[in-house]
Amino acid sequence: MRYLKASDIDFLAIGAAVLGSGGGGDPYLGKLMAKEAILEKGDVRLIDVNEVPDEELVIPSAMMGAPSVMLEKLPNGKEPEAAFRAVESFFGKKAYATMSIEAGGINSCIPVYTAARLGLPLVDVDGMGRAFPEIPMVTFSLGGVKASPMVVCDEKGNKVVLETINNAWIETLSRTVTVAMGLSSMIGLYVMDGKTLKEFGVRGTISLAIEIGHRIISAHKRKESPVDSILEVTKGYRLFEGKVTDVQRDLTTGFVRGKAHFEGIDRYRGTGFRLDFQNENLVGMLDGKPCAMVPDLITVLDRETGSPITTEHLRYGQRVMIIGMPCAPIWRTEKGLAQVGPRYFKYDIDYEPIEELMKRRAS
């Protein structure tokens, strides 16, 4: 157990955004919310998964939709609590802790906000070890845990409780409700007991994110590149260096779907890179050939500062370093790949681990 202070939130937000693979939302807003709540209510206890008693409930807290929209349609600050309490009241039992459903700027900070506001501990775990665009894409799903009952709240004060027969219906109904609410919402879902969490959670995601963030900010202070340091702690690879030549985005489905094109610089001069995304980066192609793909992590970093750039903040002319990192092992199982592999996202390619792709590229 340790305490999360307001100063940790900068590390958490930036580190989680590296793990967020371009998604998980712009850290800015989540960071403000989490820091403000800690300053007002006190430091948040970060507990290990093993500290959660088997029979106690944990309720994850998150935002859903297009984070770019949330920057203009600001939360009122009561939605995460409203969603959390509505899930609790559904079960007629108080929750022991909250947790993060995914690693990513906003969705690592929202649970800190909820934990601080409600005086609950935050569990050092998440359900992805990265960010993913759809609700059922959590390791808990592989263990048969249901997202239902799920509560969706908006900043206007509307609240929707969904009880569905499976996670696909949760995705369909919560997405359609979030789109109708104006493309963003705060949610509570995937309630589970400590026993289940121990079995299926991706452990240590919060402390890993803080460690990554700490390395980035320290390197920045020393005026060094943090890239090697990030690759060391995440076991990742350099994929490409270049500048953004084009970005296409479409928000109408409730996701940020699109493609970004890059032109190589320095030792990548003369080559081109294409990155496809759906909230998160899905597949990176170097000169038309896949060089990293879901569920492995692909993150775009600012070439000067090493700060992660989310898919929503990619802009023409940015000079970037693109890195790839291996995903949590559970995603590489047959069940895991069926749920979040390239074919799920309609790519006609078989998954190849980033380690293999890099080995082939080197030879």
How far apart are the C-alpha atoms of 178 and 136, rounded to whole Å?
16
Contacts of 48 (CB under 8 A, 6+ apart): 1, 123, 124, 203
Instruction: Determine if residue 15 is left, alpha or beta; phi over 0 gives left, psi from -120 to 50 gives alpha, anything else beta.
Output: alpha
Q: Is 72 exposed, middle or buried (0-12, 13-18, 19+ CB in 10 A)?
A: exposed
How many C-beta neighbours within 10 Å does residue 173 have?
A: 18
Interaction between residue 1 and a second copy (CB under 8 A): no
The secondary structure of residue 330, as a DSSP letter, is G
Helices 27-41, 6-19: inter-axial angle, 10-degree rounding = 150
Interaction between residue 93 and a second copy (CB under 8 A): no
Interaction between residue 83 and a second copy (CB under 8 A): no
Q: How many residues interact with a second copy (rule CB under 8 A)?
A: 18
Q: Which two tokens stand for residue 175?
A: 């997405």
Which residue in the set 2, 159, 198, 332 belongs to the binding site for a second copy (CB under 8 A)? Answer: 159
Which residue in the set 6, 177, 206, 216 belongs to the binding site for a second copy (CB under 8 A)? Answer: 177
Contact 110, 33 (CB under 8 A): yes
**Taking Cα atoms as reference points, which of 180, 216, 32, 186 lies closest to residue 101?**
186
State the residue for tokens 């592989």.
142
Interaction between residue 172 and a second copy (CB under 8 A): yes
Q: Give the nearest distance from C-beta 148 to a second copy in angstroms.
A: 9
Q: Give the nearest distance from C-beta 166 to a second copy in angstroms.
A: 9
Which residue in the set 163, 246, 350, 356 belongs to the binding site for a second copy (CB under 8 A)? Answer: 163
The distance in angstroms from the start CA to the end CA of the chain is: 45
Report the length, in residues, of the chain. 363
Interaction between residue 29 and a second copy (CB under 8 A): no
**Taking Cα atoms as reference points, which of 140, 81, 141, 134 lies closest to residue 110?**
81
How far apart are the C-alpha atoms of 13 and 9, rounded to whole Å?
6
Which residue in the set 43, 69, 158, 318 belongs to the binding site for a second copy (CB under 8 A)? Answer: 158
Which residue in the set 50, 76, 176, 245 belongs to the binding site for a second copy (CB under 8 A)? Answer: 176
Interaction between residue 78 and a second copy (CB under 8 A): no
Q: Which two tokens stand for residue 95?
A: 């929750």
For a second copy, which stretch binds (CB under 8 A), given 64-72, 94-102, 170-178, 224-232?
Answer: 170-178
Q: Give the nearest distance from C-beta 176 to a second copy in angstroms.
A: 4
Q: How far is CA 255 from CA 25, 31, 91, 201, 251, in A?
A: 11, 22, 30, 25, 6
Q: Which residue lies nearer to a second copy by CB, 177 or 275?
A: 177
Q: Which residue lies nearer to a second copy by CB, 1 or 165?
A: 165
Contact 152, 62 (CB under 8 A): no
Q: Which residue lies nearer to a second copy by CB, 190 or 277?
A: 190
For a second copy, which stretch binds (CB under 8 A), given 14-22, 67-75, 164-172, 246-254?
Answer: 164-172
Q: Which residue lies nearer to a second copy by CB, 133 or 306?
A: 133
Q: Which residue lies nearer to a second copy by CB, 248 or 252?
A: 252
Which residue in the set 147, 162, 210, 322 belongs to the binding site for a second copy (CB under 8 A)? Answer: 162
Q: Which residue lies nearer to a second copy by CB, 176 or 245?
A: 176
Residues 179-198, mask of contacts with a second copy (x by CB under 8 A): xxx-----------------
Interaction between residue 161 and a second copy (CB under 8 A): yes
Q: Which residue lies nearer to a second copy by CB, 19 or 177?
A: 177
Chain residues binding a second copy by CB under 8 A are 156-165, 169, 172-173, 176-177, 179-181
